[in-house]
Amino acid sequence: MFVFRRPIRFCEIDAARLVFFARFFDYCHEALEALFAEFPGGYPRMVQERDLGIPTVRLQADFRAPLRYGDVARFELHVLRIGTTSVTVKYEVKRDADDLLVATITHVIVLASFSSLRPRSIPDDLRALFAQHLVAGHSATLRPGLT
């Protein structure tokens, strides 16, 4: 499990005084950027020097409780599946102060050429990084035929 904590910013609140639902997906991307920060240069270097991007191909989200200004969102990131070119990530989003479950998000990204958007096989170092957070019962090697 990779944990990413994100204080809610003043301008991310909507007219209902709640975090606007679309902002959660900004945070998902930030969580991935934080995960990639374990590599030198992080995601910017992946993009600029290795021409690697991670376009989103599928999202599913269930919202259980709202977040407000002053809250810290805690994204608990698990990898559900590592395919040939795609990775399925699950986030359990909790309110950090009291562990209230706020949302559950499943996010499928594809490793792709940043410039051409063509899918690419997941490089070994990235595969290893994702594998560190693979949940039990899911495997990178069990379903090699699926991408």
User: Which stretches of the chain bind a copy of itself, using CB under 8 A?
Assistant: 9-11, 13-18, 20-23, 25-26, 28-30, 33, 41, 43-45, 47-48, 53, 55-63, 66, 69-70, 114, 117
Residue closer to a copy of itself by CB (options 79, 112) is: 112
Reported as type and span, the H/E element at residue 142 is none
Helix (H, G, I), strand (E, B) or coil at 45: helix
Separation between Cα atoms, residue 109 and residue 56, nearest integer Å: 4
Name the residue with tokens 């409780």.
Answer: 65
Question: Residue 54 Cβ, how far from a copy of itself at the closest point, in Å?
Answer: 9
Name the nearest CA neighbour of 71 among 5, 146, 119: 5
Structure tokens at 26: 């900004």
Question: Residue 20 Cβ, how far from a copy of itself at the closest point, in Å?
Answer: 4
DSSP characters over 76-95: EEEEEEE-SSEEEEEEEEEE
Question: Residue 80 Cβ, how far from a copy of itself at the closest point, in Å?
Answer: 16
Residue closer to a copy of itself by CB (options 57, 134) is: 57
Residue closer to a copy of itself by CB (options 27, 140) is: 27
Question: Residue 64 Cβ, how far from a copy of itself at the closest point, in Å?
Answer: 8
Q: Cα 111 from chain centroid?
A: 13
Residue closer to a copy of itself by CB (options 69, 84) is: 69
